[in-house]
Structure 1
Amino acid sequence: MVNKEVPRRRRWWRWLLEAALLAAVLLAIHLYQTRNTVRGEAPGFSARLLDGSPVSLQDYRGKPLLLQFWATWCPVCNLEQGSIDAIARDHAVLSVALDDASPAEIRAWMSGKGVRYAVIADPSGQIAAAFGVQGVPTSIILDAGGVIRFVEVGYTTGPGLRLRLWWAGI
């Protein structure tokens, strides 16, 4: 009986060690991907939406905000668009298109995807640079006071984004 328990215990410890190692690797990747993104108070900006109306980050104070950086040419961004659009029905979403495409081309792409949330065209990357964004998609969650609470680079699930928005609203 003792002989059977020792191998089981070793297997349990080995599994635990492997899980901890995997978690450490994933954390290291996340920290590397977000190493240059701004932390704390979000940098303010004013811009124009694709429809020409003015928008400012200050307009979203008082509620959590998903600030989404993406591009029409990005396949991972395309995968996320449905989730982002669904989230925009219940939460504040402002997206920044980092494209060389014209606003008309971005609007046509959005129309083809059925996307209806607010989009800013940032072909020069000024807004992205202010936030330290270096790749797309990048999801930044701000709390009601305009403080950056979460930064995710790469694919993020709809439920994961909703959970972060909820957490930012507490």
Structure 2
Amino acid sequence: MALAVLAGGFVLYREMLGTNAGGGGGRTQYSWKVVNPDGAPVDLASYKGRPVLLNVWATWCPPCMMEMPSLIALSERPELKNANVAVVLVSVDDGLDPVRRFLDRTDVGEADVLVAASNPPAEFSTSGIPATFLIDPDGRIVRREVGAMDWNTPEIATELSSLEKAR
């Protein structure tokens, strides 16, 4: 049953993405319309000039919830704070309530939690979630991963921190 729900979630997300599923990459213009958990618009362009780890997730996605503790722990690493790295978690849940319930029971550390208010632009299109994009300060997507993984590793922290130094 759980596998059927998970598979249905991937199909639903792929359909939401339309014909660009699996595409993307390159450079982002930070044009995705997102809101904070209170519903106020947030301009993703405010992250320009910083290294960003952008994770696309949903509360109904078991792999997303499985990797969430590692993303939260990563957001609190001192070397990322020193390098001005932003950990941005963009939920594709249908509405704000599921995200608010998640936040009521979860300390998200230094991560910024946002909610998609539109379909993602092509550069953030994927074949499923969770999907994570590492973005350099110039907006180039330097890495993309689809599927859950442990993000709180010294190697990932070094990779993200080095994005600021590579300018």
Q: TM-score, normalised by structure 2?
A: 0.69
Q: For residues 35-50 of structure 1, what are the structure 2 equivalents within 5 Å?
A: 36-45=22-31, 46-50=33-37
Which residue identity does 1:166 align to in structure 2? S
Q: Which runs of 4+ in 1 moved over 3 A?
A: none
Which residue identity does 1:118 align to in structure 2? D
Instruction: Say whether the 8 Å CA contact 1:141–1:168 is kept in structure 2.
Output: no
Equivalent in 118, 121, 145 of residue 112 of structure 2: 118
Identity %: 31
Equivalent in 117, 138, 141 of residue 148 of structure 1: 141
Which residue identity does 1:42 align to in structure 2? T
Partner residue, 1:13? none
* RMSD, aligned CA: 2.3
Question: CA deviation digits over 1:79-118, x for unaligned, max 9?
Answer: 2111111222333011111112x31321111221222532
Equivalent in 85, 89, 99 of residue 72 of structure 2: 85
Question: CA deviation digits over 1:114-157, x for unaligned, max 9?
Answer: 22532222275x02655212311101000011110100111222
Structure 1: runs of 5 or more not aligned: 1-34
Q: Give the structure with the higher percent helix.
A: 1
Partner residue, 2:52? 65
Bigger Rg, which one: 1
Query: How far apart, in 2, do the equivalents of 1:119 and 1:142 lie?
Result: 17
Query: How far apart, in 2, do the equivalents of 1:53 and 1:123 lie?
Result: 10
Which residue identity does 1:98 align to in structure 2? V
Query: How far apart, in 1, do the equivalents of 2:143 and 2:35 lie?
Result: 25
* Number of corresponding residues: 134
Q: Which has the higher contact order (CA 8 A, sep 6+)?
A: 2
Structure 2: runs of 5 or more not aligned: 1-20
Query: How far apart, in 2, do the equivalents of 1:43 and 1:150 lie?
Result: 16
